[in-house]
Chains A and B, each alone.
Chain A
Amino acid sequence: MDEKRLAELSEISRKIRVGIIDAVYSASSGHPGGSLSIADLLTYLYFEKMNIDPEHPDDPDRDRLVLSKGHCAPGLYSALAHRGYFPVEDLKTFRKTTSYLQGHPDMKHTPGVDMSSGSLGQGTSVSCGMALSCLKDGRKNRIYAILGDGETEEGQVWEAAMFASHYHLSNLTWIVDLNGLQIDGPISEVMDPAPHEDKFRAFGWNVVHADAHDFNSLEKAFSEVVAPDRPGVIIQHSVKGKGVSFMENNVAWHGAAPNAEQYEIAMRDLGER
């Protein structure tokens, strides 16, 4: 990727992070940590990789994304807003009673959201159904799902992993956001799902790794993850809370909103002040 494009994507991801903090701060609740850890991934997908058009959000041939870790809705909303699906200003209505920006993604009311999600594990199966259908129809699109690392403790994830491999869903890519933290603490202490690589390989998947905060690394991973006859998974090594100093690698920011003072620090960290 050339320097100019790298700079452009970096600026977009910075804005997406600002949107995440604005949304969570306005709502006085929400999940900033895991949203920030996938901000660069969402930037890469929505601004570089995916074949989508905000003017035609229902195009049957579009690429689709299921945010299986639906609590990271602020990240998805901010990416969609900056991509042009709805006004960026609306991010400040997040979680408000009359807003279409629900606490977890609601496909019926939010343009660009391909699947309602939030109950962990369920998006993985939905992505399999989408991939199976598109593959059978001979469509050229790709189906993506973003999973939390803690989410892989859900049994349904592995039912879906088995299914995807059995039906050779080569148009399916999952991204596991390996930030190492879940609500109750480090994943290694709560219920260690490691080793992800060995598990996915045993389930018949093509496995690649990426640095979640390096667009060149993401680009390489998305290119290498595609295999002719089987699904692929990118294990992206990320920093929970990435970009906001006091949130980084701090489990307390899984599901908490900053106060006014913290908001100012976050904005400064993100170059808005």
Chain B
Amino acid sequence: MADKIATREAYGKALEEFGAVYPDLVVLDADLAAATKTGIFKKAYPDRFFDCGIAENNMIGVAVGLSLTGKIPFASSFAMFAAGRSFEQVRNSVGYPHCNVKIGATHAGITVGEDGATHQCCEDIALMRTIPGMVILNPADGVEARLAVKAAIEYKGPVYLRFGRMAVPYVYGDDYKFEIGKASVLADGDDVAIMATGIEVEQALAARELLAADGVSAAVVNISTIKPLDRETVTAMAKKCGAVVTCEEHTVIGGLGAAVCETLAETCPVPVLRVGVDDVFGRSGPAKELVSYFGLDAAAIADRAKRATALK
């Protein structure tokens, strides 16, 4: 096993793997199969792969029709188009009738890299969160991405899966049990709870090391199901640590940070500082550089964690 894998790559491989197990699994793409990695499924199951061309809104509707006739469709495109362009199709044709459609959105966030702002979707979690009944999964690594695909197949109802372009290290081993709606505490701590999602889990774990060197004990929680949020774990960790930092490759408006704040305001009001894209558009650059440029790296998280503990 390679040290690193992009969650989109794990997504494509998982589709291929589970295609053998679930004959009703079908996959749609909008002319991006090579990039979203659904091409891996296409190669294995050409009869169950439907390219919709560059027409995402139609693709979402076709997926709905497939779901209403017994199929389990995964509709794939970049997050910008799947959640952004097609928001209203997802809201009215998928969400309102609660159809069994899975949206596999890749290239989420700023780590799209050089393609720049038009393709760096930092709003998809916020958009999808507003749709009643929508499940939102944002896996942290290749292991979790695979299990999230399996869970989405087995779950009856709409699921939005968020995958990244950039390779990320493995956080989990083969013994990991993934469950929709359950956050996982990756490392315990006492002074501050860092709640991270997606690629930010790697940065949060690195930040924990930086904090430990400075005598700050940080817990790290991976929140891969953003909706429904694991309110129990979020509340328990906030209670235990007394301060929280949220980390996401997404605008600080309406994403994980917002969801955590909304919960803790009701259950355990403690200081919460949010690491995320700070209400600005993305820009071109190597993905790794952009993580630092936008203040999403381990150093930025560690700094925010210290400030959060000072607010206690």
Contacts and interface: CB of A to CB of B under 8 A. Distances in A.
A131 B58 CA distance: 14
Contacts of B57: 121-122, 125, 155-156, 159
Given A122-B89, A163-B55, A116 B61 contact: no
A176 to B, nearest CB: 17
Contact of B61 (A60, A129, A133, A167): A129
A114 B69 contact: no
B92 interface: yes
Which secondary structure dominates where chain B touches chain A?
helix
A167 B65 CA distance: 14
A118 B96 CA distance: 11
Interface stretch (B46-54, B135-143, B233-241, B292-300): B46-54
Given A125-B58, A125-B61, A126-B93, A133 B53 contact: no
A106 B59 CA distance: 21
A17 B64 CA distance: 31
Residue of A107, A115, A124, A125 ringed by the most chain B CB atoms within 10 A: A125
B62 A126 contact: yes
Contact of B65 (A106, A108, A131): A131
A122 B68 contact: no
Interface in A151-200: 155-156, 159-160, 162-163, 166-167
Contacts of B63: 129
A124 B61 contact: yes
A134 B52 contact: no
B97 A108 contact: yes
Contact of B69 (A118, A134, A167): A134
A122 B101 CA distance: 15
B92 A116 contact: yes
B88 interface: yes
A136 interface: yes
Residue of A107, A126, A136, A163 ringed by the most chain B CB atoms within 10 A: A126
B60 interface: yes
B58 A116 contact: no
B71 interface: yes
A132 B65 contact: yes
A160 B63 CA distance: 12
A245 interface: no
B259 interface: no
Given A127-B65, A129-B63, A107 B92 contact: no
A119 interface: yes
Given A108-B98, A116-B92, A133-B70, A125 B62 contact: yes
Contact of A136 (B47, B73, B97): B47
A129 B65 contact: yes
Contact of A156 (B58, B64, B65, B70): B58
B66 interface: yes
Interface string A112-148: 0011101101111111111111101100000000000
Given A107-B97, A108-B97, 7 more contacts: A60-B69, A106-B97, A108-B98, A156-B61, A159-B57, A163-B58, A166-B53
